[in-house]
Chains A and B, each alone.
Chain A
């Protein structure tokens, strides 16, 4: 069983380690390649008249040229640019969701939902958590933060199909995202991914980290006294609903959050997706409870 105070689990650490080794290896390879080619060039003891020949040699070396370009693209000064771009995107998506929510949120007629959320938040040690109910027919839940305030949003369809204990486990899952600081990990992941956009392995590892955070939130939610069963049944219900209902519009959500519901995907899509499928999450919880 996982302690809910845990923020940094072993698997995330392994992925992060793999990512750093990959990036280190890449820069070492680049450096060695540049040094050897330059040494090779320096060994020629060229006359000044041959400088133009050197220039053309470096130019004609396609590998060198591309490595230099890549290194320039992800050099530290450019990190500022990528960060600004990613943060801007996040700001925009949060702004958009706030606009959407203003026109879309429902006054919570039944205060027991809010009380349930506060109870779960207190149990998991989270503060300043507010509930939003969205008018949407896609059963989904997600969390996002503005400053120190955290918001947990659920859709009307979600409230319709879930029983109280299942809803409690969904809230626990969302609060686990808050406690595990997953939005921060998502921001860092997005920045790294955009900085090394030309390395496909970075893309895959970052996606794997995002998926891992989703599993971790499930595990954290299942670690309460209620166990993994309510969460499993909530996941099953959402999966069943999405299979029988072809929603034309997917739910909008801010770039820093992880959606609770995920459309069923198979094959290669599973590795390319930043959230695991509902079936995979149920299997993971089953392993946990076994």
Chain B
């Protein structure tokens, strides 16, 4: 009885961890990263000015979020001259497509490791909804099986 309870607890914990890994960036963090990819380089004050247009937001929140992104290793920074004096100037470490690629790869690999069957079937049905993707998949599968056949002949 106790054993299953413990297992439940561990299962809960790992699920929570995985969900957290899936949502790697919070809403404000995502917005800031989008601005950074668009601009390439910006100071905290500049991004704050842009964010302020849409909604009420505090400079302290923007500055703290930038720091969090820096600690997560998504941004480079150096001290420079900002909007109103000394400030950190941030630069993204990787471009948007590379970032998304690495997130997708990490998450999918993790899912395949933990829930192989459901993940594969979900991927297949998702691809089946799009004929172009399905065609691409067929080509890739053909290429892979040809390669395998060749290896088998040798």
Q: Is B119 an interface residue (CB 8 A)?
A: no
Interface size class on chain B is 20 to 34
**What residues on A are CB-neighbors of B58 within 8 Å?**
240
Q: Is B85 an interface residue (CB 8 A)?
A: yes
Contact A108:B60 (CB < 8 A) given known A135-B79, A137-B67: no
A residues contacting the other copy or chain, number (CB 8 A): 21
Contact A245:B64 (CB < 8 A) given known A159-B87, A160-B45, A160-B87: yes
- Shortest A164–chain B CB gap in Å is 8
Q: Is A110 an interface residue (CB 8 A)?
A: yes
**What residues on B are CB-neighbors of A160 within 8 Å?**
44-45, 59, 63, 82, 86-88
Would you call B87 and A248 a contact (CB within 8 A)? no
Main secondary structure of the interface of B (DSSP, over half): helix
- Shortest A71–chain B CB gap in Å is 51
Partner of B64, one of A106, A108, A244: A244
Contact A244:B60 (CB < 8 A) given known A156-B88, A160-B87, A160-B88: yes
Q: Is A251 an interface residue (CB 8 A)?
A: no
Q: Is A72 an interface residue (CB 8 A)?
A: no
Would you call A240 and B85 a contact (CB within 8 A)? no
Would you call B67 and A159 a contact (CB within 8 A)? no
Partner of B85, one of A110, A135, A237, A248: A110
Q: Is B70 an interface residue (CB 8 A)?
A: yes
Would you call A241 and B60 a contact (CB within 8 A)? yes
Q: How far is the CA of A109 from the CA of B71 in the complex (A)?
A: 25
Q: Is B68 an interface residue (CB 8 A)?
A: yes
Q: Mark B32-69, 1 if CB is under 8 A from A, else 0.
A: 00000000000011000000000000111101110110
- Shortest A248–chain B CB gap in Å is 7
Q: How far is the CA of A237 from the CA of B62 in the complex (A)?
A: 12
Q: Is B81 an interface residue (CB 8 A)?
A: yes
- Shortest B86–chain A CB gap in Å is 5
Q: How far is the CA of A244 from the CA of B85 in the complex (A)?
A: 24
- Shortest B73–chain A CB gap in Å is 13
Q: How far is the CA of A237 from the CA of B63 in the complex (A)?
A: 11
Would you call A157 and B67 a contact (CB within 8 A)? yes
7 tightest A-B CB contacts, nearest first: A245-B64, A241-B60, A110-B85, A137-B67, A244-B64, A106-B79, A159-B86
20 contacts between A and B (CB under 8 A): A106-B86, A109-B81, A109-B86, A110-B81, A110-B85, A110-B86, A137-B67, A156-B79, A157-B88, A159-B85, A159-B87, A160-B45, A160-B86, A160-B87, A161-B60, A161-B63, A237-B59, A240-B61, A245-B68, A247-B67
Given A110-B81, A156-B87: 16 more A-B contacts, CB < 8 Å: A106-B79, A110-B85, A112-B85, A137-B67, A137-B70, A157-B67, A159-B86, A160-B59, A160-B87, A161-B59, A237-B60, A240-B61, A241-B60, A241-B64, A244-B60, A247-B67
Which residues of chain B have a CB within 8 Å of any CB of chain A? 44-45, 58-61, 63-65, 67-68, 70-71, 79-82, 85-88
Which residues of chain A have a CB within 8 Å of any CB of chain B? 106, 108-110, 112-113, 133, 135, 137, 156-157, 159-161, 237, 240-241, 244-245, 247-248
